[in-house]
Structures are given as structure tokens and as C-alpha cells.
Amino acid sequence: MSEVGNVLLVSDAALRSAAATAAGRSLAVAVAGTSLPVVECPDIETALARVGEAGPETIAGIVLVGPETVTALRSIDRDSRVLASLPDGVAVVGADGTIRWANARFCGWCGCDGVTERRLCDALGVAGGFGDGGDPVTAALRGATAPATTVRTADNRYFHLVAARLVVHDGPVGAAAAAEIAARCDAVVVSVREVTHTILEQQKRAAIHHAGQQLADLTPAELASMSVNERIDLLKSNILHYSRDLLQFDVVEIRLLDARTGRLEPLLAEGMQPEAEARVLYARPEHNGVTGYVAATGRSYHCIDTTKDPLYLEGCKGAKSSLTVPLTYHDAVIGTFNVESPEPGGFSPTDLQFLEIFARDVAVAINTLELLVAEKASTAAESIEAIHGAVALPVDDILNEAVNVMEKYIGHDADVVERLQKILRNARDIKLVIQKVGEKMAPSSAHTQLRQPQRPQLVGRRILVVDANEQVRASAHSHLERCGCIVETARDGGEALSMLRGAREGYDVILSDIRLPDMTGYDLLVRLQDRMPPGRFILMQEFGWDPGHSIVKARQSGSRLQLFKPFRVDQLLDTIERALQP
């Protein structure tokens, strides 16, 4: 005797021995294989239970040793508590395909006691029958391996059927009778288990996953034709649609986590009170409600009774229970998904499971949308920087020429001076207009994130860069304007002085090379001392080259800052920030 998996294989000799010692009636569940290997069962209750537990590829049939089999089954069904407590229904189907006997559980599913003399599919109410390939009774009667079958009834219930052949053998079970018993089939025992709840859960889980895939699924043509705001609105609309129609959640709130500030910003709110929607929440486990707790811990939270939960902050008026799950992407929390119910304990563990599944797809959709936004912002930023870089120095040339001409005409022709001043204003506005166009091409938040790290003290500062090297002047525009500075350049000291006289608002910081075509950097500093503090004047030089000792003289005059070329961007920004300090 040996054990393979969950099946006990018994030799022919062991079967004969078991049959010889049986008192009047013994029973065995035959296993598919050669020479009739079987599993011996002590009684019929155990055998019928085994039929439901084992698969069709394991159970080939049932051998009842003794007469009056159906009568014995009826007696057991009437008197035994075992069959009454089984989760399975059991039916015996005769060779003609009709039910000869069924236990109480099976009859209850059929809605009546009169199931005998009816076909199995008709008794269960299976619309359209089993079809050609799925009838386990027909397969078993033909001697084939009976398939396990799941069927749907007309009232949308699901049953799982497993069939095994039933052989009634009155004589002893010997080696000679083994082949006859294995080939013969007097009836079929069908074990029936209701799997409606399992099947519906599987269907809903599949529907939720399909819905999640559709949240941000757009064709290339749709992506090209839709703005970022339109894509966001489409995503929000899809989330609401599936939350209501598929998950049956009427009150929904989604917040996204700002990784820099820890603040949970509202993305979507349906059914929430206005004050709850506007509430400022952070990803912290305390004093920020259930939403803050879930965002901080990354764990789902089921609030069974809002009136007794210390974490709960009122969102929907009259809500008595809530579910909140984290939106996670690559194990990082990017937001929260909250639903609420007017009933205490209004959500089941299955609801929580479904919401967690849907939340994972929502997180993926949001991440995909953010990538699209970032891609568009990056493209816009690159385009704007390319345009800006192309016009920055020509605009500076216009400014220099206009200032020079204006200085010569002051006191001679007021109309010409006014026109020149207008040219100056328009030229300075060109770069600002380009910047505003760029911000319209991509969301400002994404555009800002693509910039270099924010330096608030540089935003709006007016910077004049004086250097004969065109590459230095172009780099100043590129690097400083990314931080929000207003940059103008001059090629020599004379242009710098003219620019300073023509700038009504002046400059916050001036950077000058120590050697200009018409004067030294120190000479320029001296001529500017009555116009701006020396501490706002920064000298630039190459390493080891200062023949006029401009650096030493500038320090003696109060200019304490200098840059050595070539310099890194962070050194440039740090030096300007130090110049702006009191």
C-alpha cells in the first residue's frame, strides 16, 4: 500500500482482502489507472465526500459491493447527519441520463423535491444544457474521463460538477472481475458544489482590472489632440464612472502626495463636503485624519464606525464608515483613495480588496499621465530655451544700440527719445513674452519641476553681465534665466555704463570680466560706485591672470566677491546669492 499525493493506491490483493472482510456492504472509490487501483472507504458517506474533494482526473468511478444500491443511498440520505451537513449536493444519474436519487442539498438548489426522472441540466436550470463537450454525465456513461464542469443557471447561479462512475457488484471482487468492474457503468454519481460567490468575485476582479487598464488608455492620435487638462479630466471621469458603476462607491476622494512638502493635494472629490475637500492634510500619522495616516504608513484603513474612530475627520456629511487605501507606485506612496458610506460597517473585506486592486491601477494611470505631462513640459521647455537662446543676444544688441542712440538724442528730439524708450521696453518684453508662452505650452507645476532647483532669492532679480566673450554672455542668459533672473549683457564697459543709465529700475547685481576691451573691471567698478553698492559688483577672471591687480583693488574698494573662469553653475548662483545678502 503506497500514498501518492492525496490518493491512497490499493493493490488488487488488498481490494480482495477488504471485500472479503466487509460485512454485507463495502465501498471503494476507484482511481484512474491500470489494474483497478482504488481508495478504500469505510462507508458510503466518506466515499461521497471523496467524490466532491477529488478531481475528475483522479476519480474514475465508485464500486458498491452489495445489492440495492439506490435504496441504501436513500436510507443514508434520510438518516445520516453527514450528508445533511455536506456543502455539496449529490445526485445519482442512471444510464438513461435521468436523476434516480438526490440528497436534500441538491433538491434545495433545484427549488423542489421532485428532481427524479429529470435530466441533470433541467433540474439545475442550466440554460441550453451542457453542450457537446461539457456534459460530465455523458462522458462518464461512455467510460471516458469525466471532465469537471462549471455551469451557469438561468437565475445567474454557478455550480461546479464532478462526476464518477457507479458500479453495483453483487459478487466477490477478484482479479477476474477487475476488468469487468472497471469497464462497466451502472450509473453516475455527481457531486455538485455552488461556486456563485467565487465566480462573481472572479468576474468582478477581472472587470476591475480591465477598467483600470482603460483609465488612461489613449491612442497616439487622441494624445496628440488632447491638452493636459483634457487628459486629467478624462482620467477623473473614468475613475468616477468605474467607482460608481462597477464598485458601487458613491462618495469618492483622491488626493495626490506632493513629495517635496508632504501635502496631500485634492485631485478628485465626489460627494464630499466643500470644507472637507478644501481641508489641508499632510502625510502624517497624527492630526491629519485617516487620509494622512494611510499616506504616512502606506497601509489601508477600514473605519467601521466613524463616530468611534479617533482618526476620522468628517468628509461626507452623515458618513458612518469609510475605506481608505494608499495609491502606490513601485512601492512608493503617491496618494490616497478614500470612499465613504452612510451605514456603519458599510464595507466588507471584499470591498477593501476590490478597492486596493482598483487603486493600484489608478496609481499606474496617474503615473502614466504625469509622465505625459512631464514629457510635454520637457519638450516645451527645450523649445522655449532654444528660442530664448537664439534671441537673447540679438535683443541685448538692440538694447545697447537703442540706449546709445537715445543718449545722443536726449535734449534734441523728444519724440525720437520717446520712440527709443518704447523700443527699449518692447525689447525687454520679448524675453518675458517667450517665457510666458512656454508656461502656457506646459502646466506651470511641471514646467517649474523641470527647472533647476528653486532659488527664491534669485527670482525677479535684474542681472547685468559684462564680458567680451559671446559664449559667456549666452551662458549667463541660459543659466540665470532658468532661476527666474532678468538678464541683460554688455560687451564692454561703455555699453555697461549706457545700459545702466538706460535701465530705470537699475540692476541688483553686475558681473564683469576684469579685462574689458575699453577698460578694466576695477575701472568699471569705480565709475559705478555712485550708482550701486560695491558689494553687488562681482569680478570674473581666469586663474592666475590679473596684470592690473583689479581683484586686489576691487577688494580694497569694497567688492568682496569674484569668480574664476570657467566656473560651475552652482558657483555662479551661490556667488550671486551672497552678493544679494545684506
Pick the last residue of a domain from 162, 194, 226. Answer: 194
Residues 162 and 226 both lie in one domain: no
Q: How is residue 92 written as a grid cell?
A: 445519482
**For residue 205, what is the enclosing H or E element?**
helix 196-214
How many structural domains is the chain composed of?
3
**Number of other residues whose CB lies within 10 A of the CB of residue 442:** 23
Residues 425 and 506 both lie in one domain: yes
pLDDT for the residue 30: 44
**Taking a C-beta distance cutoff of 8 angstroms, is the pair 123, 110 a contact?**
yes
Residues 230 and 139 both lie in one domain: no
Range of the domain at 418: 381-580
242: buried, middle or exposed (CB in 10 Å: 19+, 13-18, 0-12)?
buried
Residues 181 and 83 both lie in one domain: yes
Residues 68 and 108 both lie in one domain: yes
Residues 414 and 341 both lie in one domain: no
Three-state SS at 271: coil
**Taking a C-beta distance cutoff of 8 angstroms, is the pair 357, 205 a contact?**
yes
> In this structure, what CATH number is given to the domain that contains residue 526?
3.40.50.2300
Residues 239 and 174 both lie in one domain: no
Residues 414 and 276 both lie in one domain: no
Residues 138 and 239 both lie in one domain: no
Three-state SS at 23: coil
Pick the last residue of a domain from 160, 194, 228. Answer: 194
> In this structure, what CATH number is given to the domain that contains residue 236?
3.30.450.40
Residues 223 and 258 both lie in one domain: yes
Q: Using CA atoms of 13, 15, 18, 20 in order, give the dihedral in degrees to the nearest 10.
A: -70
Pick the last residue of a domain from 352, 374, 396. Answer: 374
Q: What's phi and psi for 147, nearest 5 deg?
A: -75, 150
Residues 543 and 575 both lie in one domain: yes
CA distance 70 to 68: 6
Residues 289 and 409 both lie in one domain: no
Q: What's phi and psi for 476, nearest 5 deg?
A: -60, -45
**Number of other residues whose CB lies within 10 A of the CB of residue 195:** 16
CA distance 203 to 150: 14
Residues of the chain with pLDDT under 70: 1-87, 113, 128, 131-134, 143-147, 167-185, 216-228, 370-389, 409-413, 417, 431-432, 434-454, 543-550
Closest C-alpha to 247, from 362, 139, 142, 135: 362
